[in-house]
Structure 1
Amino acid sequence: MTISADMQEFHGLPVFEFPERDDDVDDLPDPASVAWRISGATYCDPEDEQWEQVFARFLAAVDTNQVRALVVGGWDEAYDSSSAAIVTALVEAAGDRLASLEAVFLGDMTFEDCEISWIQQSDVTLLLAAYPNLREFGVRGGTGLEFPVVRHTALRTLVVETGGLGAEVVRGIAGSDLPALEKLDLWLGTDEYGGDSSVDDLAPVLAGTGFPALRDLALRNSVIQDQIAVAVASAPVVARLDRLDLSMGTLTDEGAEALLVGQPLTHLTHLDLSHHYLSEKMSERIVDALTPYGVTVVVDDAQEPEDDGDGEAFRYVAVAE
């Protein structure tokens, strides 16, 4: 699986691509009615403007103090040039230019623009510091990503999509003080692409101490999905969740059995285990155990392990490179 399409909706708004320089900017949508996507030159379109140039035109053409959501698309040589300059440009526009901004997604690129694990990120918490009213933040790409411990009282949704999420970043997120956070979505990935975190790094999240408002937890796309499932089976945070997502990873019958014999999951409204390595019998057991209680259980996209050449089973996460 790869990311093959740009985002179509963000923060509950349709995504609108700010026009290229030769296109008409006289008939633009209401600034608050869309999530504005700002894209620069990429591998596929190297002759386009640099991201900072497009952003400057955007600031000049749109009443940006009404803008609620921004999607940062591709930038030139994203596989070699980090998002630091873009983060700086957004920080400098805070307050007097983007006073109403509620949501930012940084790195909306398909595999044709830049593979997810090639995207060079930076310290993204600078955006949280610059926008204290931000309610939703998402970032794609784990290489170079920094997320030191931060306090932010307004953030409700945090999404980090990677093919490999470093342990230091996971610890920074887990140790942050985010009292309003309702949804946390982490793509943990594989160690082949920097995903060297362990269940221990997630301890504050699983204990339920750091994010008192959390109701929607996704720990997915992980090569240690069984270990995560075992930890989740007794994690205090689960008792107050509405939605639990352990999809896109290498979940086997071992992890699923832990979920079945662990704490009750019958209070959930939604359990997503799609892209898994469960036996058909185990999939049926989970569905039969929870659906009578009104839980929507997703066990789509069953996978089969491959032979690694040494007679051992090899299992893939959904998104890696």
Structure 2
Amino acid sequence: MDHVQHLNGLPALTFPQFTHSARLPAAGAAAWRIELEDRDGDEASDVYWERFLTAMPAEDVRALIIGYPWYTEHGLGSMTEEITEASSRLVNLEALFLGDIVSEQSELSWMEQSDVAPVLEAYPRLRELAVRGSSGLAFPAVRHEALRTLRFECGGLPAEVVRGVLDSDLPALEHLELWLGDEYYGCDTTLEDLAPLLDGTRFPALRHLGLQNSTFQDDIAAAVAHAPVVARLESLSLSLGTLGDTGAEALLNGQPLTHLRSLDLHHHFLSDAMMLRIWEALEPAGVRVDLSGREDADEDEDDDGGRYVAAAE
């Protein structure tokens, strides 16, 4: 995984940790990354956070990216509470990314999250929420009128979180991305848990669906092949997981996908012949198909034929 480069259509820019004389862009011109390179304890983090809220000014900030060391097991703890408490100052916040941390800083499975529902309750105008990491993550059902994009990037998404999302009332949600991950890293989500999503009874505005990074990607593909929700999607992602020829065959034999603008299958285990079949079936219809990142299964491994997800540990 890489650092976030854009959020809410704005370029990411790290707010300087130490005071300096360089002129900063306007508060609403960037997605501000809050990240400490050198840590001197919680007091230093509190000073840094308060300086950011004061220097911008806070009422003009539109997008926030929270990075290192927050959300790491050896970090300063979750900033969810601090962000929630700052809602009276960050009155125009539209987008929030919790956990912009890469492997050089912390393994994905070591990242500590928390209950993120209070953030949505505190920011009724929030349009985009992305969360990286799932240890300690909670998402009880909420109602939110404005949220359009919701993403969970992790190596093991708990079923309880998935159920909370699908029980939520999110009438404006257009983009939903779930990295399901590996059972070893906390994924206990099943196809049954995803049924309310696949049958099209949830999220009437949904136009993009990502069911990704899964060890049962073939089963997901088979379910998606006949899922009513697909008919109203503009884009679909089944990337980052263990998709093989069995799942791809199910997609080709299922409902038409030619209405999609894009189908993302990158990081897969497809044969050359199957890749060609997908290409020939969809590209002439104008569907942008991403078949990059073909992986080779580890034949020495017994589980799932040696296939593996892109992001786990």
TM-score by length of 2: 0.95
- Spell out the pairing of 1:233-248 with structure 2 (5 A cutoff): 233-248=225-240
The 1:310–1:8 alpha-carbon spacing in structure 2 relative to 1, beyond 3 Å, is closer
Q: Structure 2: which amino acid aligns with 1:303?
A: E
> 1:53 corresponds to which residue?
47
- Spell out the pairing of 1:113-192 with structure 2 (5 A cutoff): 113-192=105-184
Q: Which runs of 5+ in 2 are unaligned?
A: none
CA distance in 1, matches of 2:31, 2:47: 19
Matched, 1:10 2:7: yes
Q: Superposition RMSD on alpha carbons, in Å? A: 1.8
Matched, 1:273 2:278: no
> 1:94 corresponds to which residue?
87
Contact 2:70/2:77 (CA < 8 Å) preserved in 1? Answer: no
Contact 1:226/1:250 (CA < 8 Å) preserved in 2? Answer: yes
> 1:70 corresponds to which residue?
64
Identify, as 1 or 2, the structure richer in helix.
Answer: 2
Matched, 1:32 2:25: no
CA distance in 2, matches of 1:253, 1:145: 33
The 1:183–1:82 alpha-carbon spacing in structure 2 relative to 1, beyond 3 Å, is farther
Report the identity percentage. 52
Q: CA deviation at 1:308?
A: 3.7
CA distance in 2, matches of 1:88, 1:311: 40
CA distance in 2, matches of 1:18, 1:7: 14
> 2:208 corresponds to which residue?
216
Higher mean alpha-carbon deviation, 217-226 vs 308-317, is at: 308-317
The 1:229–1:62 alpha-carbon spacing in structure 2 relative to 1, beyond 3 Å, is same
- Write out per-residue CA displacement over residues 140-166 of structure 1, whole angstroms, 9 at most, x where no aligned residue: 001110011111110000011001111
The 1:309–1:6 alpha-carbon spacing in structure 2 relative to 1, beyond 3 Å, is closer
Q: CA deviation at 1:25?
A: 5.4
Q: Which runs of 4+ in 1 moved over 6 A?
A: none
- Write out per-residue CA displacement over residues 87-124 of structure 1, whole angstroms, 9 at most, x where no aligned residue: 111111102x1111100000001112111111000001
CA distance in 2, matches of 1:227, 1:54: 47
Contact 1:121/1:141 (CA < 8 Å) preserved in 2? Answer: yes
Q: Aligned residue pairs: how many?
A: 312
> 2:242 corresponds to which residue?
250
Q: Secondary structure at the match of 2:150?
A: strand
Match of 1:204 among 196, 202, 219: 196
Higher mean alpha-carbon deviation, 101-110 vs 170-179, is at: 170-179
Higher mean alpha-carbon deviation, 131-140 vs 165-174, is at: 165-174
Higher mean alpha-carbon deviation, 311-320 vs 208-217, is at: 311-320
CA distance in 2, matches of 1:274, 1:229: 14
CA distance in 2, matches of 1:219, 1:315: 17
Q: Secondary structure at the match of 2:108?
A: coil
Q: Structure 2: which amino acid aligns with 1:88?
A: E
> 1:304 corresponds to which residue?
296
Q: Which runs of 5+ in 1 are unaligned?
A: none
CA distance in 2, matches of 1:83, 1:12: 28
Q: Secondary structure at the match of 1:117?
A: helix
The 1:82–1:210 alpha-carbon spacing in structure 2 relative to 1, beyond 3 Å, is farther
CA distance in 2, matches of 1:249, 1:265: 20
Q: CA deviation at 1:75?
A: 2.3
Q: Secondary structure at the match of 1:274?
A: coil
- Write out per-residue CA displacement over residues 201-222 of structure 1, whole angstroms, 9 at most, x where no aligned residue: 1112111212100001111111
Q: CA deviation at 1:36?
A: 0.8
Higher mean alpha-carbon deviation, 201-210 vs 303-312, is at: 303-312
